[in-house]
Structure 1
Amino acid sequence: MPQTTYQAQVTSKDAADKLVADTENLQGVKWVNVNIDKGTIVVTHGEDYDESAFKSAASI
C-alpha cells in the first residue's frame, strides 16, 4: 500500500491523537501515524486517497 509523508509540528500526544481521530476515516486513508519527535505524519492509503481532504483536516 502506498504511503505519503508530511512534515508537521505536532507538539503533544493529545494533539497527535486528535489529528489521527480527525483524519483516519477520510476517503482512502488506511492508517495515520504521527511521530512527534521527528515532526512527521505518515499516511498509509489506497489509490482512492483524497490528499487535499487529508491536508485540510490535518491543517497542513
Structure 2
Amino acid sequence: MPQTSYELTVTDNKTAEKITQEGGNVQGVKWININADKGTIVVTHGEDYDEAAFKSIAGL
C-alpha cells in the first residue's frame, strides 16, 4: 500500500488526535502515523486517496 509523508510540527496531543480522527475519514486513508518528535505525518492509503482533503484537515 502506498504511503505519503508530510513534515508538520504537531505541538500537542489534542491536535494529533484531531488530525488522526478527521483524517481517517478521508477517502482512501488506511492509517495515519504522527511522530511529533520528528515532525512527520505518514499516511498509508489506497489509490483513491484524496490528498487535497487530508492536507486541508492537517493544515498543510
TM-score, length-normalised on structure 2? 0.94
RMSD: 0.7
Q: Percent identity?
A: 62
Runs of 4+ in 1 over 6 A off after TM superposition: none
Aligned length: 60
**Structure 2 unpaired stretches of 5+:** none
**Structure 1 unpaired stretches of 5+:** none
Q: Which amino acid aligns with 1:49?
A: Y
2:53 — aligned with what? 53
DSSP 3-state at the match of 2:34: strand
Distance 2:12 2:49 in 1: 26
TM-score, length-normalised on structure 1? 0.94
